[in-house]
Structure 1
């Protein structure tokens, strides 16, 4: 399957934002034609939808967006919001590193982001009252983050702790989780394809072989995948390969040639060319940069 794609992956912005302060908030941004690639990054993410519809893909599951939604995204999870085009889509995004949390509550809060602990509680749908309450906290956080008055970082820590407590309370309130994440048989097919590709990304699987596995035609498979995720199968495979290559570059001592082969590139020069095109630096430059700036082995995304 051809995995060459001309559009670069913009997935390191969050990592750069978290360098100076292990907290970042982007508050109530609205777009009519918002589009984002599959991506992953350091730390944890809280994604709040205030207005809009569509899908949200995270860790191989596809959730419907239809109202006031919260998505919990764990460290280094591949995810992507897929809003309906042509109508307003308003969201608030919070990213933070574990060290920004208070030591007494850190373990409890981070467990909320682990699917092993809460496999069906990564998505919370709020009613109007709950949304208003959460929105008030988000507004205060954004004000502190924007004005940066004396002690703003301590106040952000207080508000983040309060926000995570409110989410924890919602998760344990008896509210039914969104167990039917896919929402349709079409989404379920795409979920299964994504899960398969996430495990077999390094293999050279043809489109015909992939379609046969799921008992549909290649054309219909491509159509479903593009309609549901906004991207092609080839692009998803390419991103997944680059994602795993970046992890190996920063977390292992394997040679770059060995890494290229492990993630599915049969040619080292081709891997270097594609990597530079999409990451905007060579594999060697990437390894050097993030080993220097990430001494604790944090995944640069």
Structure 2
């Protein structure tokens, strides 16, 4: 016996599998062979069944998936090797960015709090002193300092709001650029991924959905596309070959057994001899 195992679907590729499945269910009404969707089984039920049989469905496109993963890993390895060989320091060191950003965040958060606290203290003490008779000479100074810190608090809050808005816009544009860059794959990897998507849809998902609609009570393993015996790679251990009796060497002659001879009581043995 030998083992031919199809590669398992990696976690990073599971969302792609779900997107292809959802797209197939969304456009099922456009395919005559899936016209029964919603009659025997609804899209939610079909999706649940397909997710439970992910390993069996993806095995239909195991060859294309293996090629896609290999091409992707080669590109990643080459990219990592290029970075290691470059050896140039980052133009924007992480330590400086983190320290500068950390100080800015601390100042932005603490400035309104400290200024507001000082404003409350100075105003409270100043107005209490002004209520005395006669009021101390520095009571007016305390009140003026309180209003100054109140204005500083308002300014700090405004600066913090503007800073948060700028940071949010900058992070949004950066993430969008990263997503667009992530979609730009090398030509070999893009072709391999497209081939896997097509094989997964045509040889895995659609046959599974057709079989599920034709026989909703069948077991998930029975719904694996089986129209072409060479379409799906074998998973696990292959069964041993059993040949028919006519194909193998000549079989040894079978032993024969004869039934014992039973005679009538008159001839059953010495004890029954006639006197």
**How would you bin the TM-score normalised by the shorter chain?**
under 0.3
Structure whose residues are more often helix by fraction: 2
Larger relative CO (CA 8 A, sep 6+): 1 or 2?
A: 2
Larger radius of gyration: 2
Compare the two structures and name the one with the higher strand fraction: 1
TM-score scaled to structure 1, two decimals? Answer: 0.20
